[in-house]
């Protein structure tokens, strides 16, 4: 006897809610309380429920949709990656769905939703560490996965060699005669996986160590990406008895803030202070900021190519690409 497909009424019964609530969870999830939403999604996953609108898509085995999970829609580095994603996806026949993730709760909701009701053929995860449990759940639903900036043996990855980027920054400054070089980075996360800031600092420090050059602890600074915090760190650096003559910033956004501080202090760039950033976002060109280019747009294009290859082959492509950064020299150094 053929097993009947679960209906929205079955989901409502198992979850102990109305069919209206089930519909809201599927279409407007943030109108539903988190506890109720979780019950409904658990019921959907347990019953393997497929909404009628998507049943035809499942029968055809494809949805024609690629999703992107991103922690920001305004940070220039993520905007550039999205630019690469959209340019490569154009003309492919796939629709792009972008999920903006502001916190862990929101991220978990999207994972629960995607694993309960598969709506995508592929998913690109940008700089959001996912537990192995969640990666496994997504892969079990045959959602082809690629992670950008986060390494994983379970799926395709597109990463930047951040240690090499830090080394390039140090070598560039030293070649130009700067010896008192500082580092300004984001507040280090407590994640299990080493973050990009730590790796960039590692590469920067390695060059000084190998050349037996001093990189004082006072020259290594961390703070949130807020103008007030950055200004305080810069004031402290410049008030040292032996102030730095150059600074390597974790990202271009930090470097742009340092340039703003320098203008307010009437410091001459690079005569009084040389500045180098990391990312090479478009704004870096406007202000003539030297930056380590990590090929942001290219990483987006490669992520799409990896996802599409997995979809065509009906198998998860374990393609691991590590992009090699390069220096884009401008007048700030």
**One domain, residues 194 and 119:** no
Q: What is the DSSP code string of 181-226?
A: EEEEEPPPP--SSPPHHHHHHHHHHHHHHHTT----GGGEEE--S-
Q: Is 32 left (phi over 0), alpha (psi -120 to 50) or beta?
A: beta
CATH number at residue 307: 3.40.50.2300
Per-residue pLDDT of 192-234, as tens digits, reads 444 899 999 999 999 999 999 999 999 999 999 999 999 999 9
Whether 80 is covered by a domain: the verdict is: yes
2-17 burial by CB neighbour count: b if 16+ within 10 A, else e?
eeeebbbebbbebbeb
For residue 192, the model assigns a pLDDT of: 42
**One domain, residues 179 and 256:** yes
- What's the CA gap between 179 and 244, in Å, rounded? 8
Kindly state the average pLDDT of the residues 144-163: 91
pLDDT at 274 over 80: yes
**One domain, residues 289 and 188:** yes
pLDDT at 4 over 80: no
- pLDDT confidence tier of residue 41, bands split at 50, 70 and 90: confident
- pLDDT confidence tier of residue 316, bands split at 50, 70 and 90: low
Whether 331 is covered by a domain: the verdict is: no
Q: What are phi and psi of 93, to 5 degrees?
A: 90, 0
- pLDDT confidence tier of residue 314, bands split at 50, 70 and 90: low
**One domain, residues 199 and 233:** yes
Q: Considering Cα of 127, then 131, then 135, then 137, what sign does the dihedral take? A: negative
Kindly state the average pLDDT of the residues 241-257: 98
**One domain, residues 170 and 289:** yes
pLDDT at 329 over 50: yes
How many angstroms separate the Cα of 193 from the Cα of each of 128, 199, 318?
Answer: 11, 11, 19
Query: 66 pairs with which residues across the strands?
Result: 96, 122
When mean pLDDT is compared over 5-19, 64-78, 165-179, the highest value belongs to: 165-179
Domain extent for 135 = 64-160+296-325
pLDDT at 57 over 60: no
- pLDDT confidence tier of residue 104, bands split at 50, 70 and 90: confident
CATH number at residue 51: 1.10.260.40
- Domain endpoint, select from 15, 37, 60: 60
**One domain, residues 301 and 154:** yes
For residue 7, the model assigns a pLDDT of: 78
pLDDT at 280 over 50: yes
**One domain, residues 204 and 306:** no
Mean pLDDT, the chain, rounded, equals 88
Whether 333 is covered by a domain: the verdict is: no
Whether 3 is covered by a domain: the verdict is: yes
Closest Cα to residue 49, out of 143, 136, 1, 118?
Answer: 118
E strands of the chain, at which residues?
65-70, 95-100, 122-126, 144-148, 156-160, 181-185, 220-222, 246-249, 274-279, 290-293, 320-323, 326-328
pLDDT at 23 over 90: no
**One domain, residues 88 and 155:** yes
């Amino acid at each position: 006897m053929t097993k009947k497909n679960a209906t929205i009424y079955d989901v409502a019964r198992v979850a102990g809610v109305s069919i209206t609530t089930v519909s809201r969870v599927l279409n407007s999830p943030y109108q539903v309380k988190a506890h109720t939403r979780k019950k409904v999604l658990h019921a959907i996953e347990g019953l393997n429920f497929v909404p009628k609108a998507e049943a035809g898509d499942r029968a055809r085995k494809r949805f024609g949709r690629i999703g992107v999970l991103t922690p920001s829609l305004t940070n220039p580095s993520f905007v550039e990656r999205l630019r690469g994603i959209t340019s490569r996806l154009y003309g492919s026949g796939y629709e792009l769905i972008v999920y903006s993730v502001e916190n862990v709760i929101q991220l978990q909701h999207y994972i629960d939703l995607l694993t309960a009701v598969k709506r995508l053929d592929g998913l690109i995860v940008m700089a959001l560490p996912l537990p192995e449990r969640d990666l496994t759940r997504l892969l079990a639903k045959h959602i082809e996965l690629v992670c950008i900036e986060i390494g994983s043996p379970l799926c395709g990855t597109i990463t930047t060699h951040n240690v090499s980027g830090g080394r390039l920054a140090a070598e560039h400054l030293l070649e130009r005669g700067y010896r008192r070089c500082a580092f300004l980075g984001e507040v280090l996360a407590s994640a299990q996986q080493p973050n990009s800031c730590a790796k960039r600092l590692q590469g920067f420090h390695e060059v000084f160590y190998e050349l037996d050059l001093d990189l004082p602890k006072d020259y290594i600074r961390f703070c949130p990406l807020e103008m007030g915090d950055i200004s305080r760190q810069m004031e402290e650096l410049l008030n040292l008895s032996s102030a730095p003559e150059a600074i390597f910033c974790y990202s271009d956004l930090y470097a742009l803030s340092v340039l703003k501080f320098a203008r307010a202090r009437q410091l001459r760039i690079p005569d009084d202070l040389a500045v180098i950033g990391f990312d090479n976002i478009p704004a870096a060109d406007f202000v003539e900021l030297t930056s380590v280019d990590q090929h942001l747009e290219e990483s987006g294009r490669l992520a799409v190519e990896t996802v599409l290859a997995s979809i065509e082959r009906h198998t998860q492509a374990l393609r691991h690409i590590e992009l090699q950064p390069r220096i884009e020299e401008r007048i700030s150094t």
